[in-house]
């Protein structure tokens, strides 16, 4: 049963290894209702793995994932499929279906996942495209005909098409120029606020994090080493966080660079 008092998402002692490499070493994180949490961390720190575990795309080794107080890791296939209707996901590369036009990409979850009539789903797709600043003409194009920024916007429209309760964003601004990145950040803030959804984003783009986060958590070596409100991040007192947000090569975070 859904517990209204429970946090929207609660991760407890999550661990995940690939062979001898331990990527998550006991992650604890809670996300409140209508809260936007951004997980920051360097490349290879386990951010994407964390998001995939949260979505159930990757099994965890230990720990629990609770959504609305329900333990997701214990769910069967049918319950998990139902749980997925609560999620909307923007993938790093947008992950649009090449074989389908843009409108059908946006409406995909409504047509296939919720058995909605195509005509009605198409209308909703056009509404969602308008929400991310794209015209209905774009709906008739195929993903290969779009720029990177437009693909991200379509990906965002697809993520919010089913009015999800939780929006997950994987590196939403990676590969975009600073202006388009800011446009995407504004759209994320606007769309998540309109939905009243909780949001979990992973990024190493601090400009993006400052714009879309209520709260920030830093992942380092498979653990959350600091979390707090975005306004406190500059005075975190944590040398790892300081090094990361200022992008300094010197500091406690050692980058492994092979020297020849």
Residues making contact with another protein (CB under 8 A): 52, 55-57, 81-82, 84-85, 87-89, 91-93, 95-98, 108-109, 112-114, 158, 162
Q: How far apart are CA 154 and CA 150, in angstroms?
A: 6
- Between 52 and 223, CB nearer to another protein: 52
Contact 172, 209 (CB under 8 A): no
Strand, helix or coil at 96? Answer: coil
- Between 201 and 236, CB nearer to another protein: 201
DSSP class of residue 233?
A: G
CB of 253 to another protein, least distance (A): 27
CB of 35 to another protein, least distance (A): 20
Q: Which of 171, 224, 209 is nearest to 63 (CA)?
A: 224
CB of 233 to another protein, least distance (A): 29
Sequence-distant (6+) residues with CB within 8 A of 108 are: 97, 100, 158, 161
CB of 94 to another protein, least distance (A): 9
CB of 248 to another protein, least distance (A): 31
- Between 46 and 56, CB nearer to another protein: 56
Sequence-distant (6+) residues with CB within 8 A of 246 are: none
Q: How far apart are CA 38 and CA 208, in angstroms?
A: 9
- Between 34 and 84, CB nearer to another protein: 84
- Between 143 and 149, CB nearer to another protein: 143
Maximum Cα interatomic distance, the chain, rounded to a whole number of Å: 61
- Between 21 and 82, CB nearer to another protein: 82
CB of 85 to another protein, least distance (A): 6
Residue 74's alpha-carbon distances to 60, 66, 83, 86, 119, in angstroms, are 11, 10, 12, 17, 37
Q: How far apart are CA 193 and CA 177, in angstroms?
A: 24
């Amino acid at each position: 049963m859904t517990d209204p008092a429970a946090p929207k998402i609660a991760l407890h002692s999550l661990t995940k290894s690939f062979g001898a490499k331990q990527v998550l070493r006991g992650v604890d994180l809670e996300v409140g209702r209508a809260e936007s949490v951004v997980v920051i961390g360097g490349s290879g720190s386990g951010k994407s793995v964390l998001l995939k575990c949260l979505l159930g795309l990757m099994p965890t080794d230990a720990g629990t994932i609770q959504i609305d107080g329900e333990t997701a890791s214990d769910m069967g296939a049918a319950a998990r499929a139902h749980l997925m209707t609560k999620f909307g996901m923007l993938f790093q590369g947008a992950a649009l279906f090449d074989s389908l036009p843009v409108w059908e990409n946006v409406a995909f979850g409504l047509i296939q996942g919720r058995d909605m009539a195509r005509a009605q789903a198409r209308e909703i797709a056009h509404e969602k495209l308008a929400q991310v600043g794209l015209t209905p003409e774009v709906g008739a194009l195929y993903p290969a005909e779009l720029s990177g920024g437009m693909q991200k916007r379509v990906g965002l429209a697809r993520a919010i098409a089913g009015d999800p309760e939780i929006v997950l964003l994987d590196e939403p601004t990676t590969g975009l120029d600073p202006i388009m990145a800011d446009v995407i950040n504004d759209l994320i803030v606007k769309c998540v606020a309109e939905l009243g959804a909780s949001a979990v984003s992973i990024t190493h783009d601090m400009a993006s994090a400052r714009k879309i986060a209520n709260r920030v958590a830093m992942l380092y070596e498979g653990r959350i080493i600091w979390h707090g409100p975005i306004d406190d991040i500059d005075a975190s007192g944590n040398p790892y966080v300081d090094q990361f947000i200022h992008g300094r090569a010197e500091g406690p975070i050692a980058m492994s660079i092979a020297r020849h």
